[in-house]
Amino acid sequence: MTFAEELLLLLLHENTGYLAPVPEWEMSCAFAGGVLMDLSLKNRIDTDLETLSLLNKTPTGDDILDPILDEIAREENIHSPRFWVERIAARAETISDKAFARLVNMGILDFDSAGFWSLSKKVSRSRRYPRVDGVPGEEIKQRITRILLTDEIPDPRDIAIIGLLHNCDGVRALLEPEEFEIAEQRIELLSGMDLIGRTISEAVRSSYRPPEALRTRHRKKLPSIGLLDFLRSHAMRHGNLPKFFAEQAKKHGPVYQINAGGRKLVVLASQQLNLWTGKKGRLLLRTRDYLEEFQQEWGTARSIASMDGADHFRMRKAMRDGNSRVVVEDRIHEVFALARNTFSGWKVNSVIAVEASCQRLIGEQIAELSVSIKPPDHLLEDLRKFEYRALFVHVFGVIPKFMLRTPRMKKYKQSVLDLYAQIHATHTPAQRAGKRRDLVDDLMELHHSDPQFLPETNLGFAFIAALIAGHYTGSAMAFLIYEMLANPDLHERIIAEADALFENGDPDAKALTPEAIDVTHRFTMEVLRLHPVINVHRRTVMNSFDIDGFPIPAYSEILIAYTATHYMEEHFKDPEKFDIDRYLPPRDEHKQTGAYVPFGTGTHTCGGRRWTELQLVINVLLIARHLEMELVPKNYKLKLSPFPKLSPSKHCKIRIKGYRRPLAAAQPANSD
């Protein structure tokens, strides 16, 4: 490994999924020093106490080291190691990103789409790295800790890495306080044993960068928009929030402030700010504030949606298997059966409201796959109505609190409590014996292992959070049906894919190859781009910061308008055009990191993203296979409802004209 990779593994905090909280500048200098150490060991440079000189400019073949080597080779003057440490430190983020990617590719780390890293299950169990040249490597934290706490003689490379770690204050993060006190003298001794390491470590230790507040010379006043800007906007009048935020960013810049109704919210809307949120948001922003009263209404103190930091990471890990795409793949024939059962209720010549019907379609599938129940229709509908009312009261603040205490809302809330009890009662060891593990089983295991972290008072809402998420997936499904009928040429291509897949019976998950579902998948991606159901994150500033020259004080409310990029011309050509070819090479517009983000950005990126993608694709294929439909009226143009989420208007309806294929379950295709 390179020193950068080893440094990351030493600084990775397994309880938070991110690097230990060591000073950022010192860490940057340590990464720079690690690059110089690698170049020295490869005989490309030489250093003494005063100078760093080039020995050989031949590339090493390493994409972390070679850009730095090239920069050193092009420099005409001789400089000190400290000069190069400070210069390379500006690239620390790029160095660490590449090192993280390598560790994932080597099977040492696992990466979560929300920006968390963790040791792979294999390494975590064995404390050994995958074999390289036939020799397994010892896990570095274990090795360095042993060297520091015993009299074992370290090799020169370990001495160098200890020096780097010590000079960015990383040893304190590695050892327990009592261990650090015992080993302090040995740490100082080892840190100074290697000449090259000592030289670079001195540069790391003595390098200094002024605080952010001193380096920002000119602070600008935030541009502001108000009620008139909302009223004048065609996008806002039509409920298209992502387009509205994109238009305002084009006019005012990516950072601006909304002044409306006596409240001020800072909006962040650009690709770069989406990336910034992923890297810095965990240190500066928190989630819980706007959700506190909403959660209390459900009888819970906190949920994964309101957690931050180590607790959020732990909860994501506990729920990872239950929210994974594998669940849908393993139970794909159950999804087929559930969908067909729902379709059987869509009678020929009947007119149905698209969103409400899709929420039942998706809700029944999620209920079976996530919590292993078959809820009656009214229960899912009661849950949705209570959720929406609670959002309008506690999150949006547009309805008074007494509106949650009406007889009808009390009835809906009782249905929610009954649902809690039903799920709990069906997940005793005896009830679950011999059944496939589901999300509730994982939550129950966490509750029993640590009832303080996930107490009984928080279990109920955790159980039904997946069903609530189904309301949002149901809205996405409604958009898919509308766009399929509004784009008849694409509808025909999707029908062709569906017929090919089901020609010999129901396919298994292995048959859903990228080639087999190419059009359907790209169609789904385009719908999610144009109609992102959740299109902003709301956060509270917990540590003040400057961004783009604007000071953002603590306690400010932030709207991360991450989907504004979906309507920005610089990322998506003709952004309002429905175009599934934008996801084909050479365009590959979705591969612009931080630009295509239908599932969020930062630490709260949707943990069930891959489940949702597959579930939507499967249902689109089944609808194309079985149903003949038309919009009502035939020339209906989509109208949007922006709150409490982006969804089709309740006036979006379809007529079931007939069935293309019988709804009776087809025999599974022969996998041989």
Please write down the HEC assignment for all residues of 332-370. HHHHHHHHHHHHCCCCCCCEEEHHHHHHHHHHHHHHHHH
Q: Can the peptide bond before residue 633 be classed as cis, meaning omega within 30 degrees of 0?
A: yes
Which amino acid belongs to residue 266? V
* CA–CA separation, 272 and 366 (whole Å): 34
SS3 388: helix
For residue 359, the Cα-to-chain-centroid distance in whole angstroms is 23
Residue 257's DSSP bridge partners are 224, 266
Nearest C-alpha neighbor of 530 from the set 246, 254, 269, 229: 246
Q: Can the peptide bond before residue 644 be classed as cis, meaning omega within 30 degrees of 0?
A: yes
Q: Please say if the pLDDT value at position 63 is more than 90.
A: yes
Backbone angles phi, psi at 299, to 5 degrees: 85, 20
Averaged confidence pLDDT in the chain: 92
* CA–CA separation, 507 and 646 (whole Å): 33
Nearest C-alpha neighbor of 543 from the set 309, 222, 313: 309
Q: Return the beta strands (E) in 360-405 as ranges.
A: none
Two structure tokens written together for 290: 């706007």
Residue 173: predicted pLDDT:
86
Q: Please say if the pLDDT value at position 201 is more than 80.
A: no
pLDDT tier at 215, thresholds 50, 70, 90 = very low
Residues 6+ apart with CB under 8 A from 366: 466, 467, 469, 470, 473
* CA–CA separation, 126 and 147 (whole Å): 19
Backbone angles phi, psi at 144, to 5 degrees: -65, -40
* CA–CA separation, 297 and 600 (whole Å): 25
Angle at 112 between CA 108 and CA 115, to 5 degrees: 105
Q: Please say if the pLDDT value at position 213 is more than 60.
A: no
Q: Can the peptide bond before residue 575 be classed as cis, meaning omega within 30 degrees of 0?
A: no
Residue 472: predicted pLDDT:
97
For residue 506, the Cα-to-chain-centroid distance in whole angstroms is 32
Contacts from 154-161 at CB under 8 Å and sequence distance 24+? 154/190, 156/194, 157/41, 159/190, 159/191, 159/193, 159/194, 159/197, 160/3, 160/37, 160/194, 160/196, 160/197, 161/3, 161/6, 161/7, 161/10, 161/34
* CA–CA separation, 612 and 606 (whole Å): 9
626 with 340: CB under 8 angstroms? yes
SS3 234: helix
pLDDT tier at 146, thresholds 50, 70, 90 = very high
Residue 264 half-sphere exposure, CB side, CA atoms within 13 Å? Answer: 10
Nearest C-alpha neighbor of 163 from the set 144, 177, 150: 144
Q: Please say if the pLDDT value at position 78 is more than 60.
A: yes
Quick: pLDDT tens for 269-319: 999 999 999 988 999 999 999 999 999 999 999 999 999 999 999 999 999
* Mean pLDDT confidence for 221-247: 95
Please tell me what DSSP assigns to residue 272. Answer: H
SS3 391: helix
Two structure tokens written together for 497: 């894919």
Its CATH class, for the domain covering 215-290+535-599, is: alpha beta
pLDDT tier at 377, thresholds 50, 70, 90 = confident
Q: Please say if the pLDDT value at position 121 is more than 90.
A: no
Place of tokens 């429905």: 578
611 with 324: CB under 8 angstroms? yes
Superfamily of domain 3-209: yeast vps74-n-term truncation variant domain like (1.10.3630.10)
Percent of the chain past pLDDT 70, that is, above it, reads 94
Place of tokens 């809205």: 475
Specify the range with the lowest mean pLDDT, choosing from 93-107, 120-134, 211-225, 490-504: 211-225
* CA–CA separation, 485 and 638 (whole Å): 11
Residue 130: predicted pLDDT:
74
Q: Can the peptide bond before residue 210 be classed as cis, meaning omega within 30 degrees of 0?
A: no
Q: Please say if the pLDDT value at position 39 is more than 50.
A: yes
320-405+435-534+608-659 CATH: 1.10.630.10
Backbone angles phi, psi at 45, to 5 degrees: -135, 165
Residue 349: predicted pLDDT:
96
Nearest C-alpha neighbor of 30 from the set 153, 157, 151, 165: 165
Report the DSSP pairing between strands 255-260 and 263-268: antiparallel
For residue 476, the Cα-to-chain-centroid distance in whole angstroms is 18
Q: Please say if the pLDDT value at position 133 is more than 60.
A: no
Residue 668: predicted pLDDT:
54
State the first-to-last Cα distance of the chain, in angstroms, to the nearest integer.
Answer: 43
Domains of the chain by residue range: 3-209, 215-290+535-599, 320-405+435-534+608-659
Tell me how crowded residue 334 is: count the other CB atoms within 10 A of its CB. Answer: 14
Specify the range with the lowest mean pLDDT, choosing from 23-27, 329-333, 543-547: 23-27
619 with 309: CB under 8 angstroms? no
Specify the DSSP element, H or E, that contains 407.
Answer: helix 407-425
Q: Please say if the pLDDT value at position 218 is more than 60.
A: no
pLDDT tier at 667, thresholds 50, 70, 90 = low
Nearest C-alpha neighbor of 283 from the set 549, 20, 8, 543: 543
* CA–CA separation, 190 and 397 (whole Å): 59
Report the DSSP pairing between strands 263-268 and 557-560: parallel
pLDDT tier at 126, thresholds 50, 70, 90 = confident
Two structure tokens written together for 446: 């966490």
Residue 208: predicted pLDDT:
61
Two structure tokens written together for 287: 């989630």
Q: Please say if the pLDDT value at position 671 is more than 50.
A: no
Q: Please say if the pLDDT value at position 216 is more than 90.
A: no
Backbone angles phi, psi at 655, to 5 degrees: -110, 135
Specify the range with the lowest mean pLDDT, choosing from 48-62, 207-221, 451-465, 597-611: 207-221
148 with 171: CB under 8 angstroms? yes
Supply the pTM of this predicted model: 0.89
